[in-house]
Amino acid sequence: MPVFFQISDVPRLLPELLLLVLALLVLGSDMFERWGEDEESRFERVRAAGSLTAIGLGLIFLITLLQSGYVYRLPADAPQNFFLTIVRNLQNGGPVGDPVVGSFATDHLTMIGRLVLIGAAFLVSLLTLDYRPANNPGEFYALILLSTMGMCLMAAATELITAYLSVELTSIPLYILAGYFQTNTRQSSEAGMKYFLFGALSSGLILYGMSLVFGFAVASIPGGAQANDMTQFLRIAQATATEGAAASKLLTLGMLFIIAGVGYKVAVIPFHSWSPDVYEGSLTPITAFLSTASKAAGFLLLYRILVTAFPNLTGTAEIVSGFGGWTSLLAVLAVATVVLGNLAALPQRNLKRLLAWSSIAHAGFVIMALMAWASPYASTRSMGTSALIYYLVVYTVTNIGAFGALAVASMTVGGDTMEHLRGLARRNLGLATLLAIFVLSLAGIPPMGGFLAKFYIFMAAWQSGAWWVVMTGVVTTMIGLYYYLLILKATFIEEPASTEPVPMPTWMNATLITSAVLVLLLGVFPNLVLTTIDQVKVVAGM
């Protein structure tokens, strides 16, 4: 039964459309204005594009928030007037209904994903305001916006082709952005190039996997004629819900290639090797973007694809019996990722590299949330879902803050190695305190959000019987604490190279304070978001 795009579907895709419009607006306003060549007008030009992007993203975030109805839902008996009708129409396009054209779900998962991703892009664009990023600011910001749009689509995709296209839409702008570095062109272009080559490799893998899965799904329906909607996740799950399909090597192989390809996006070991170099070489706010929004989108896609397209291949997380299916594969990947990620982070002196490894390790923790599918109980599975999303929210806020603090340091102190941060507390106590909040959250110390997020994930994984994965997680958290302490030691305890105070750029300061407040709020009042996250129910295949 073919489904057509209807005009009433437009408001449901409003955030993505608005992102596209904003991108064109930023690009156009930069292109059609005649800018002077001198330093001052160049600065003005960057400011113009940057603030347009930031304001626009802020507005889109608010519109999405209004649309989702999470903070305010228009009562049914509200009076009819112009503004309220707009709100009503907006909320009618909220988290309800079947996927648009069978390809884009606009459920709670998408809504929360949009909020996280657009919010992250907003914070990142604020970070870049003081940064003077590039010669062509319109292009720079338009790329960020297009990539954000791709990420939102990744969170929404319920079909193979859409998923692939959204991954590409996300990645291609990011390849270019990774190469955008004014002062360190060589390292930055190297980063962009590496990222691109790897992206190409993984794109190939995803496509190959998808074609295998599609072929298998088409072949397994009797008659085989009506294949045109066989790319939808739910249809794949239906077609493969037989005994034989679950045992098929071909379907498993296809799924493995997809996992490997998305695994590259979220940088889990062994598909991680690009990330330290790319993170180190990119502009710091872009690194923040790469390590948070891009990862979060990858996890949302991975989550939806595994849960809706391959519910018949879940397997168990136990080592002894029934090793097989994606939970046991992810268990192994999670263990490898947390162990190697934390170990490799220990000797790093460059903090961007250190945080790169740390964010690899964090990807391992996120994957543990998917262990919940090893349990047959719906309640455990939904615990896994909320743990996953809660972790992504906390991690996004924390990491943007941490990289933001590094961005300030590298701008004002002149670099982002341990040596540069030495004695920062005596040069700018505020910045050092903010950095400490983010680092403690990453290390998982209560009452920061990072602690509850980790605790919740461990809890969900333990419930599903993956206790050995949890043990590894807890032990490596302790190892991880050591390098986080090294950062704190450098900033708070060691002697500074100079006692000159470090200035704090206005917008970066605002961003960091916002993130820090969020980190603490998420730790002390997690229910503010958990009640919303709890509504996420992704339908598994029948």
Partner 1 sequence: MLNLIWLIPLLPMLGFLVNALGVWRVRDDAQRERLAGYIASGAVVLSFLVALVAFFQLGALPGEERRAGVVLWEWMGTGRFHIPFGFLFDPLSAVMVLLVTGVSSIIHIYSIGYMHGDSRVVRYFAYLNLFVAMMLCLVMADNLLLLFLGWEGVGLCSFLLIGHWYDKKEGNFGRGVATPAAAKAFIVNRIGDAAMLLAMMALFFQFETLTFFHEGAGFLETAEHMQVSSIVSFLLLIGVTGKSAQIPLFVWLPDAMAGPTPVSALIHAATMVTAGVYLIARTHVIFTDATLGWVTWVGAITALLAATAAVAQMDIKKVLAYSTVSQLGYMVAAAGMGAYAVAIFHLLTHGVFKALLFLGSGSVIHGTHETQDMRKMGGLRRHMPVTYWTYLVGAGALAGIFPLAGFWSKDEILAHAWTEGQFLIFVILVVASLATAFYMGRQIAMVFWGNQRDHTYHAHESGQMMTIPLIVLAVGSLLAGAMNLPGRHALTHWLEPVLHTHPHEFGVANWVLAMVMTLLAVGSAFVGWRYYTTNEVKIDAKVKDPLYHYTGDLWELLEEAWFFDAFYEKMAVVPGFRSLAAFLATVFDKEGIDGAVNGVGQFFTHLSSQVRSFQSGYMRTYALVFLVGVIVVVGYF
- Binding to partner 1, residues 478-537 (CB under 8 A): 478-479, 481-482, 485-486, 489, 492-493, 495, 524-527, 530-531, 533-534
Per CB under 8 A, 340 contacts partner 1: yes
Nearer to partner 1 among residue 229 and residue 534 (C-beta): 534
- Sign of the torsion formed by the C-alpha atoms of 36, 37, 39 and 44: positive
Residue 210: HSE in the Cβ half-sphere, 13 Å Cα cutoff: 20
Residue 350 per-residue DSSP state: B
Chain mean position to CA 260: 17
Per CB under 8 A, 379 contacts partner 1: yes
Helices within 267-323 (DSSP H only) = 274-281, 284-289, 295-304
Taking residues 199 to 238 in sequence order and writing x for each that binds partner 1 by CB under 8 A, - otherwise, the string is --x---x---------------------------------
Interface stretch with partner 1, choices 10-18, 116-124, 134-142, 336-344 (CB under 8 A): 336-344
Supply the minimum distance, in Å, between the C-beta of residue 115 and partner 1.
18
Whole-angstrom Cα distance, residue 447 to residue 219? Answer: 53
Per CB under 8 A, 67 contacts partner 1: no
Is 376 in contact with 494 (CB distance < 8 Å)?
Answer: no
Among 165, 227, 241, 459, binds partner 1 (CB under 8 A): 459
Supply the minimum distance, in Å, between the C-beta of residue 279 and partner 1.
12
Name which of residues 383 to 402 contact partner 1 (CB under 8 A).
383, 386
Q: Quote the Cα angle for 335-339-345, to 5°.
A: 145
Partners of 157 in beta bridges: 104
Supply the minimum distance, in Å, between the C-beta of residue 340 and partner 1.
6
Nearer to partner 1 among residue 167 and residue 533 (C-beta): 533
Whole-angstrom Cα distance, residue 354 to residue 254? Answer: 34
Nearer to partner 1 among residue 9 and residue 318 (C-beta): 318
413: CB partners within 8 A, 6+ apart = 420, 421, 424, 427, 502
Among 13, 293, 458, 516, binds partner 1 (CB under 8 A): 458
Per CB under 8 A, 185 contacts partner 1: no
Quick one: tokens of 20? 């596209």
Rg, C-alpha atoms of the chain: 23
Supply the minimum distance, in Å, between the C-beta of residue 154 and partner 1.
21
Partners of 104 in beta bridges: 100, 157
Name which of residues 412 to 441 contact partner 1 (CB under 8 A).
440
Interface stretch with partner 1, choices 64-72, 230-238, 240-248, 461-469 (CB under 8 A): 461-469
Among 276, 298, 401, 404, binds partner 1 (CB under 8 A): 276
Taking residues 310 to 329 in sequence order and writing x for each that binds partner 1 by CB under 8 A, - otherwise, the string is --------------x----x
The closest alpha carbon to 165, from 146, 143, 184, belongs to 146
Supply the minimum distance, in Å, between the C-beta of residue 104 and partner 1.
27
Burial class (CB in 10 A: 0-12, 13-18, 19+), 210: buried
The count of residues interacting with partner 1 (CB under 8 A) is: 72
- Sign of the torsion formed by the C-alpha atoms of 97, 236, 535 and 367: negative
Quick one: tokens of 10? 């437009």
Among 106, 463, 511, 514, binds partner 1 (CB under 8 A): 463
Among 456, 472, 538, 540, binds partner 1 (CB under 8 A): 456
149: CB partners within 8 A, 6+ apart = 16, 19, 20, 23, 169
Is 361 in contact with 341 (CB distance < 8 Å)?
Answer: yes
Question: Backbone dihedral region of 325: left (phi > 0), alpha (psi from -120 to 50 degrees) or beta?
Answer: left
Whole-angstrom Cα distance, residue 463 to residue 465? Answer: 5
The closest alpha carbon to 120, from 253, 386, 299, belongs to 299
Name which of residues 98 to 127 contact partner 1 (CB under 8 A).
none
Interface stretch with partner 1, choices 14-22, 41-49, 149-157, 476-484 (CB under 8 A): 476-484
Interface stretch with partner 1, choices 7-15, 36-44, 240-248, 472-480 (CB under 8 A): 472-480
Nearer to partner 1 among residue 214 and residue 455 (C-beta): 455
Among 172, 474, 504, 521, binds partner 1 (CB under 8 A): 474
Nearer to partner 1 among residue 97 and residue 324 (C-beta): 324
Whole-angstrom Cα distance, residue 519 to residue 442? Answer: 10
Nearer to partner 1 among residue 122 and residue 395 (C-beta): 395
Name which of residues 359 to 378 contact partner 1 (CB under 8 A).
none
Among 415, 446, 496, 505, binds partner 1 (CB under 8 A): 446
Whole-angstrom Cα distance, residue 342 to residue 485? Answer: 13
Supply the minimum distance, in Å, between the C-beta of residue 345 and partner 1.
7
Per CB under 8 A, 279 contacts partner 1: no
Nearer to partner 1 among residue 58 and residue 465 (C-beta): 465
Taking residues 237 to 266 in sequence order and writing x for each that binds partner 1 by CB under 8 A, - otherwise, the string is ------------x--xx--xx-xx---x--
